[in-house]
Amino acid sequence: MSQPVGRVPQRRNARSNRARILATARQELGRNPDVTLEELARAAGVVRRTLFGHFPGRAALLDALAEEAAEAIHAAVSAGEGGTEPADRALAHFTLALWPVGDRYRMLLALARRDLGMDRVAGILEPARVRVAAVLEQGQRDGIFHTQLPAPVLSAGLEAMTVALLEEVNTGALEDDGTRVAVTTLVAAGVPEKRAQIVVDEVAAAAEG
């Protein structure tokens, strides 16, 4: 059965509007977590009815952003699975891959407790937590990372540090493409600073190449 004339362009336009609304929401919620849907509609260049057609309320919009973040984290985790590289390179690779995701969705940090709930945030982060803990365990067995803390505890500490650094980005105190954070993460895991810098530089160069 053929589609009605105009149906495909309408769907394409709807997808474009939805993507633009979500992109605008990421930006505006980062500036002001209390921004209204009406203000978001104006910023996105759509009428109020269009925004509410996609997202009937604030909860629906935030849920869509959370789903986007979860999918992006899953993609970053999947890209690094199954590799045989040393643990320090694996941790650097993962940090560099995940930092842009965290940077893009850092506004969710401000909304986590009030709007999304900590259980939802924990679910979004779970794949990353499992991956980092596995890398840390391997690195501890290989003598690359320190063993002062069990891998799951060390993973939780590194996550808290990353969240704190993302909050510093929110305040404007930090600008980073991920390389400084990756070096800091390796150092916190027990890699000497000079070695950490070399590893991150090599991994970053390989990713760009």
Contacts of 26 (CB under 8 A, 6+ apart): 65, 104, 105, 107
Clarify whether residues 104 and 47 are in a common domain. no
The reported pTM is 0.80
Clarify whether residues 68 and 28 are in a common domain. no
Round to whole Å and give the CA distance between 139 and 103: 26
CATH code at position 48: 1.10.10
Q: Which domain holds residue 25?
A: 1-56
Clarify whether residues 83 and 2 are in a common domain. no
For position 38, what pLDDT does the model report? 93
Q: What angle do CA 10, 105, 47 make, to 5 degrees?
A: 35
pLDDT averaged per 10 residues in sequence order, the chain, 209 residues: 52 84 89 89 92 92 89 81 84 92 79 76 85 95 97 94 87 91 97 97 88
Q: Does residue 200 contact residue 183 with C-beta atoms inside 8 Å? A: yes
In 47-86, alpha helices (H): 48-54, 58-80
Report how many domains make up the chain.
2
Q: What is the pLDDT of residues 13-59, one digit of tens each?
A: 888 889 999 999 988 887 888 889 999 999 999 999 999 999 999 98
Clarify whether residues 180 and 111 are in a common domain. yes
Round to whole Å and give the CA distance between 72 and 67: 9
Q: In which residue are the tokens 């067995």 written?
A: 141
Q: What angle do CA 17, 21, 24 make, to 5 degrees?
A: 135
